[in-house]
């Protein structure tokens, strides 16, 4: 068994800057991993970026953890579930773990000759698509929404922050009274803001995403009981147990599943099971992934347990020129999962090289 794990760090300009409560992003700096073993080439992407603003991980910590602790467990090419058990002794660092776990999903799906969405379990073959819009002046947001609706998006999510919620949501509802609308605060509020947050009820959102602390469940439960708007958790759900606890104490009834945040697809699948057992809802989010990471998200978003429209927009929403030759396109508000084996993307190696800011070989092995 011979193998090689290498990475490329790419810096890709976004088509439109993306502003959330934690900052304005102009580029996506993605870590792309490549596994070559036994004649098979697999790819994955770490959802980390340069800064630890969404979570504590960033590209440097991911590389460090992979290099020092995770790669030894990749070398025997275990199935993803086994890999996750072997690396459980490393606390946290889910994004680093997910990068290798997803490499193994691509690798094993290729060995089986199956497209990833089918290898994962029960696929609908397609994913319902929504759009996540960064914070912009109100008029810009209104015109982006109008374009998105014309393009067929099934749900509109806008970013909000403290003091910048009632104005924007009111303007959107004045103009589009009936659309499927949600808002994502990325942890910008505290429980002291409960009276302000309750005012959001008047906008009839499908849900309010992650209003409170990134590791909070208790205050979300308190908030959920005092609002009519359902709460959706993103940052707070980092593993299966957190999802169970959230349902146990009523922190929210919807989960934004991001495979990177929860340590990969094994955990994403278990979380989606827990969601459905508890009568909740889930959808697949995104981290502005390149076409490589996006293919994993779309495969997950195509699973039958995923019942709400996600943030897995087509590649062209993010990049003028992506690093894959077969980008996703949206039709009637759906994206079809790739039908090729594994993640089914044709990696554009020239594009990757063009965007490359660093690269390295992490490990070469023979056993
Ligand atoms: O909170 O869902 C989020 C992007 C980066 C970090 C956090 C989030 C997001 C998005 C964009 O909302 C989702 C996407 O279109 O990839
Ligand atoms: Mg979010």
Neighbours of 367 (CB within 10 A): 7
Q: Which domains does the chain have, with CATH numbers?
A: 2-113+346-366 (3.30.390.10), 118-336 (3.20.20.120)
What is the CA(175)–ligand 2 centre distance, in A? Answer: 24
Q: What is the pLDDT of residue 1?
A: 77
Distance, in Å, from the CA atom of 144 to the CA atom of 66, rounded to the nearest integer, reads 39
- Per-residue pLDDT tens digits for 182-201: 999 999 999 999 999 999 99
Half-sphere exposure of 277 (CA within 13 A, CB side): 12
- Tell me the two tokens of residue 186: 């990325």
Query: Which of 15, 11, 83, 52 has its CA nearest to residue 315?
Result: 15
Most ligand 1 atoms within 8 A of CB, residue of 132, 184, 282, 335 to mutate: 132
Question: How far is Cα 148 from Cα 143, in angstroms, rounded to an integer?
Answer: 9
Q: How far apart are CA 90 and CA 76, in angstroms?
A: 18
**Predicted local distance difference test score (pLDDT) of residue 157:** 98
Any ligand 1 atom below 6 A from CB of 208: no
Q: Is the CB of 184 under 6 A from ligand 1?
A: yes
For residue 102, what pLDDT is reported?
A: 98
- What is the C-alpha separation between 282 and 23, in angstroms, rounded? 26
Distance CA 295, CA 310 (A): 13
Q: Whose CA is nearest to atom 13 of ligand 1?
A: 286
User: Which element (helix H / strand E) includes 245?
Assistant: helix 240-249
Q: Which atom of ligand 1 is nearest to the CA of 131?
A: 15
- Strands 2-20, 130-133: parallel, antiparallel or unpaired by DSSP? unpaired
Please list the ranges in the chain whose pLDDT falls under 50.
none
d(CA 220, CA 224): 6
**pLDDT tens readout for residues 287-325:** 999 999 999 999 999 999 999 999 999 999 999 999 999
Q: Please list, in sequence order, all residues whose beta carbon lies within 8 angstroms of the beta carbon of residue 329, skipping any fewer than 6 positions away.
A: 314, 316, 335
Strand partners, 289: none
* The predicted structure's pLDDT at residue 156: 98
Q: Are 274 and 243 in contact (CB under 8 A)?
A: yes
């Amino acid at each position: 068994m011979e193998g090689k794990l290498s990475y490329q760090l790419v810096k890709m300009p976004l088509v439109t800057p993306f502003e959330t409560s934690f900052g304005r992003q102009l580029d996506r700096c993605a870590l792309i991993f490549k596994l070559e073993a036994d004649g098979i080439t697999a790819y994955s992407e770490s959802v980390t970026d340069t800064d630890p603003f969404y979570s504590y991980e960033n590209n440097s910590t991911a590389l460090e953890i992979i290099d020092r602790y995770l790669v030894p467990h990749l070398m025997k090419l275990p199935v993803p579930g086994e890999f996750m058990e072997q690396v459980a002794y490393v606390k946290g660092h889910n994004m680093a773990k997910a990068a290798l776990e997803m490499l193994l999903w691509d690798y094993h799906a290729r060995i089986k000759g199956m497209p990833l969405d089918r290898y994962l379990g029960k696929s609908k073959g397609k994913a319902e698509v929504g759009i996540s819009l960064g914070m912009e002046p109100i008029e810009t947001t209104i015109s982006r929404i109008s374009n998105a609706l014309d393009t067929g998006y099934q749900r509109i999510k806008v970013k909000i922050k403290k003091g910048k919620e009632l104005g924007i949501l009111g303007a959107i509802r004045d103009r589009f009274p009936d659309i499927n609308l949600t808002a994502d605060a990325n942890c910008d509020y505290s429980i002291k803001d409960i009276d302000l947050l309750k005012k959001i009820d008047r906008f009839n959102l499908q849900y309010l995403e992650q209003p409170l602390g990134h590791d909070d469940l208790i205050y979300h439960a308190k908030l959920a009981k005092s609002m009519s708007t359902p709460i959706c958790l993103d940052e707070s759900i980092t593993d299966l147990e957190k999802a169970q606890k959230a349902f146990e104490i009523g922190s929210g009834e919807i989960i934004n599943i991001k495979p990177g945040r929860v340590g990969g697809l094994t955990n994403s699948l278990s979380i989606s099971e827990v969601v459905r057992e508890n009568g909740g809802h889930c959808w697949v989010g995104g981290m502005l992934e390149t076409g490589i990471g996006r293919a994993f998200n779309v495969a997950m978003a195509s699973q039958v347990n995923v019942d709400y429209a996600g943030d897995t927009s087509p590649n062209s929403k993010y990049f003028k020129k992506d690093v894959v030759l077969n980008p996703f396109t949206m039709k009637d508000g759906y994206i079809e999962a790739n039908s090729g084996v594994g993640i089914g993307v044709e990696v554009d190696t020239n594009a990757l090289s063009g965007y490359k800011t660093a690269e390295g070989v992490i490990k070469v092995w023979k056993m």
